[in-house]
A = this chain, B = another copy of it.
Amino acid sequence: MSSFENVTVLTKANVYFDGKVTSRTVVFADGTKKTLGILMPGEYEFGTDAKEIMEIQSGELKVLLPGSSEWISISGQGEFTVPANSKFKLEVSVVSDYICSYINE
C-alpha cells in the first residue's frame, strides 16, 4: 500500500467548508509539504498560494482551472496542476480522496 515514510504529520486537521473539505498536513525531511485530503460532494472554490499538484486517488469530480472555461472530469484517478496565486473551482459528485503537493518555485 502506498505510503509516505519518515515524515512528520500535524495532528490537527485543516477544515474548510464546514468540514466538507478536510486535510492532514504531511511534512517531508526536505521541508516540502503535502496534504492528504477528503472532498465531500459539493461545489467549492479554492485559492492557491504555492503552485499545487492535485492527485485524485479515488472519487469523481470536475475541475475548472484558472483561465479556462472548460471543466475537466476526473473519475477514479487523475491529476491536475494549479498555478500559484490563482483560483480554481471543483464540483465533487462522489467523495474524493486526494494528495495535494505544494511546489515552491
Contacts and interface: CB of A to CB of B under 8 A. Distances in A.
Interface in A12-65: 12-13, 15, 18-20, 22, 24, 26-27, 36, 38, 40, 57-58
A22 B68 CA distance: 32
Interface of A: 1-13, 15, 18-20, 22, 24, 26-27, 36, 38, 40, 57-58, 95, 97, 99
A100 to B, nearest CB: 12
A4 B7 CA distance: 8
Contact of A7 (B9, B18, B20): B9
A8 B8 CA distance: 8
A5 B2 contact: no
A22 B22 CA distance: 9
Contacts of A10: 1-3
A23 to B, nearest CB: 9
Of A11, A58, A95, chain B has the most CB atoms within 10 Å of the CB of A11
